[in-house]
Amino acid sequence: MFPPLTPELNVRDIGKSLDFYIGQLGFTICYERPEEGFATIELDGAFLMLEQIDELEPNDDPWITAKLEYPFGRGINFQIIVIDLDGIYNRLLKNGYPIKLPLEQKSYRAGSKFINVRQFMVMDPDGYLLRLSTQTGVC
């Protein structure tokens, strides 16, 4: 079953996007409709839907609200909590994939406590920022 919120990302090339999400990050395909350029993918309980678009202008398409220009993900980043953070990070480095924010240890205040995480950030082929992280403790 899918979580209550599952983002659907417009992409220019579903094959290139699937190569990145599956080959680089380790997502798996839940289901796809290749004839429509659509796939739902999952990694450690995080779900995304990817849909290839051919038209960058809104025209009569209610799903396109404004002209799409690279990077598509302006103004948003997706935090994805993963189990094998180091494995994903090392695979990206090995394959020469650009890292936007190198692996770091960070503490974020949440009320009266601090959540400690390890995290890094990459940008997918269409310009969506992905912050991959794992929680290391709460104090």
Q: Can you give the residue ranges of every domain in the chain?
A: 8-138
- Positions of the chain with pLDDT lower than 50, given as ranges: none
Q: What is the pTM of this model?
A: 0.91
Q: What is the pLDDT of residue 47?
A: 97
Terminal alpha carbon distance of the chain: 32
Q: What is the pLDDT of residue 28?
A: 98
Tell me, which fold does domain 8-138 have in CATH?
A: 2,3-Dihydroxybiphenyl 1,2-Dioxygenase; domain 1 (3.10.180)
pLDDT tens per residue, range 18-44? 999 999 999 999 999 999 999 999 999
